[in-house]
Structure 1
Amino acid sequence: MGWWNGSDGTRLLIAPDSNATESSGRLLSLLHPKSGTTTCYLFNNGVLQEINWFKQSYRSWFLGDYVCEDGRIFTATPVDPVFMMLPLFQEARMKKGDDPGKFRLLEEIIFVNGYPGYQYLLPVAENCMHVVCETKEIGSSIFFRLDDSKVLSWLSYKVRKLKETLPLLDKNYAAQDEKDTLADAVSILGEYVKDEPWLKLLCNNLNLNFPVESIKSQEMEVLQSSMETNLKSSNLFQGKNKSEKKSKTAKQTKKAKVETESRNIKDMFSRASRRGS
């Protein structure tokens, strides 16, 4: 599969569906729902996945029968397409003041000049946007209009699920105050939602101060460490935690394990070389 920006350099892409091919998977250039900047996503078998880039200069990857020495690796993780559609539906209803806005055809809403990738998401949008929209059927056509109360309920559900998950990632989350965990969950969600109006409305609904405080750096390390651990278990990622200075004892143990495995691999190649000579 060619890389989205046209580069000829070799990249390793790890996606949940390892059967992704050029016919079943497609790289799309879309607007990030928070920043509005052009971002690359993988659309494969009806699942939208966000692509994240890692570079470990001290690691190499096996790519088929050869080694990629500079450590470039991309991972693709599923993302709820409602996040991607929310800014489009917000703008499309042309809401003014207390007016709820206009109902629009789905084809009109997801048409973004210069970003044809949205057209591939048409079937997904039709299936998932009912959760945050009112709909009206006229003949064989279905018209959509974003509904504030539905969006707020959907965001609250996302926050609740995050709040339940965070304490399972690390003992630091389990030990902290429940309101701090709630604020962290909102902060994570805020990476995919614009501050106005949704994040502000969400904070008001949850009795949190707005703007919500950013996640502490230590907690961000926990999330990244958890993600790296999952990748290492697939034997495709042997990264090292970038934040050594703030690592806890448990992370130091994981790091030592990675380094030990690295030495074992080096020893294996050394023994193979001696036998060959």
Structure 2
Amino acid sequence: MNWWESADGEIRVLIAPDNGTSGTDAGQLLSLRHPKSGIAANYLYINEGLHELQWHKKSYTSWFLGDYVCEDGGLYISTPIDPVFIMLPIFEDARMKKANDPGKFRQLDEIIYIDGFPGYHHLLPVIEKSMGVVCEVKDIGSTKFFRLDDSKVIAWLCAKADRLKQTLLTLDKNYAAQDDKHTLAEVVSILGDYLRDKPWVELLCNHLRLDLQDLTRKADDHSSSMTDNLHQSSAQENGGAASTNKKTAKTARQGKKVKIETDSHNIKDMFTRATRSRTKTTQ
């Protein structure tokens, strides 16, 4: 864990792999499109792995950093993410599929050229290794050409769904008590946070014989349950007071709060220990 102090005095605390910050791989913050919304979001690229950044903030928290106290108790956590999720919408658009036409084969340099998002070029080595699992690949001379393949994507998603389902069964006994279809619905709902509804969530539901509308309803019910739990927890933290902030209800459905940053930075420069100590002025 490390922290960084910006020019305007803002403190950021990050939990992330630390071997890259002191080794040869310094790591970088990359601005990429979120695979679900398409909105710019920050990702950490370090040690040839991609991590998503999540920002968590609870009421009445602070940090003791060195010899001073940071009143803002916000926390950044980097968690590994399969780069295929990030690249799936990029490769989908690049093939320019129409009706029954499977689309075009394209070079990686063409596919990852996204105006306003130079960060994708840093992922070139990772993309070449990872996207073969969901693409048809042709070697012409020394050049590789890629085209997304629907059947390979569905197979990859089914493998992800099965692995996630097994994880849920071991983490929460409530999943073991419900029927398999309900657990699969929860799994697809989680995966859906990183997938476009069309075509991928829709195709996955069809393959698993799940009703997409029923899945959406269950996701809404799950979010409402989360909201109620958050309200109850907040009331307990405030000594049982009933004056729960209504803003919590609006943000509870998001589950995770991600703070958007811009541009790409060297992680060693951005998250280094703040050396300027703060002292109280006494007169």
Aligned-residue identity in percent = 57
User: Does residue 217 in structure 1 map to residue 230 in structure 2?
Assistant: no
* 8 Å Cα contact 1:56-1:70 kept in structure 2: no
* 8 Å Cα contact 1:13-1:75 kept in structure 2: yes
AA partner of residue 44 (structure 1): I
What pairs up with 1:144-159 in 2 under 5 angstroms? 144-159=146-161
AA partner of residue 104 (structure 1): R
Unaligned runs of 5+ in 1: 222-241, 248-277
* 8 Å Cα contact 1:82-1:128 kept in structure 2: yes
* 8 Å Cα contact 2:43-2:53 kept in structure 1: yes
* 8 Å Cα contact 1:49-1:78 kept in structure 2: yes
CA distance in 1, matches of 2:38, 2:177: 36
What pairs up with 1:132-171 in 2 under 5 angstroms? 132-171=134-173
User: Does residue 61 in structure 1 map to residue 81 in structure 2?
Assistant: no
State the TM-score, normalizing by the size of structure 1.
0.75
* 8 Å Cα contact 2:3-2:14 kept in structure 1: no
Q: Shift of the alpha carbon at 1:170? A: 2.0
Structure 1 residue aligned with 2:230, among 243, 246, 255? 243
Q: Shift of the alpha carbon at 1:217? A: 3.4
AA partner of residue 122 (structure 2): Y
Q: Shift of the alpha carbon at 1:65? A: 3.7
SS in 1 for 2:11: coil
4+ residue runs over 4 A deviation: 5-8, 218-221
Partner of 2:13 in structure 1? 12
User: Does residue 112 in structure 1 map to residue 99 in structure 2?
Assistant: no
Distance 1:7 1:76, change over 3 A: farther
State the TM-score, normalizing by the size of structure 2.
0.74
CA distance in 1, matches of 2:19, 2:188: 34
* 8 Å Cα contact 1:135-1:143 kept in structure 2: yes
SS in 2 for 1:98: coil
* 8 Å Cα contact 2:3-2:12 kept in structure 1: no
Distance 1:11 1:20, change over 3 A: farther
Partner of 2:127 in structure 1? 125
RMSD of aligned Cα (Å): 2.5
User: Does residue 101 in structure 1 map to residue 107 in structure 2?
Assistant: no
AA partner of residue 11 (structure 1): R
Deviations 1:108-143 (A, max 9, x none): 101100001101000000000000000000111000
CA distance in 1, matches of 2:225, 2:177: 12
CA distance in 2, matches of 1:50, 1:12: 15
Distance 1:7 1:54, change over 3 A: farther
Q: Shift of the alpha carbon at 1:63? A: 2.6
AA partner of residue 91 (structure 1): D
SS in 1 for 2:144: strand
AA partner of residue 190 (structure 1): G
- Return the structure number with greater relative CO, CA threshold 8 A, min gap 6: 2
SS in 2 for 1:198: helix
AA partner of residue 69 (structure 2): V
Number of aligned residue pairs: 226
Query: Which stretch shows the higher mean deviation, 138-147 or 52-61?
Result: 52-61
* 8 Å Cα contact 1:218-1:246 kept in structure 2: no
CA distance in 1, matches of 2:175, 2:92: 34
SS in 2 for 1:191: helix
CA distance in 2, matches of 1:8, 1:68: 10
Unaligned runs of 5+ in 2: 235-283
CA distance in 1, matches of 2:66, 2:18: 14
Q: Shift of the alpha carbon at 1:8? A: 4.9
Q: Shift of the alpha carbon at 1:67? A: 2.4
CA distance in 2, matches of 1:126, 1:172: 40
CA distance in 1, matches of 2:31, 2:49: 15
Distance 1:114 1:8, change over 3 A: farther
CA distance in 2, matches of 1:77, 1:20: 15
SS in 1 for 2:85: helix
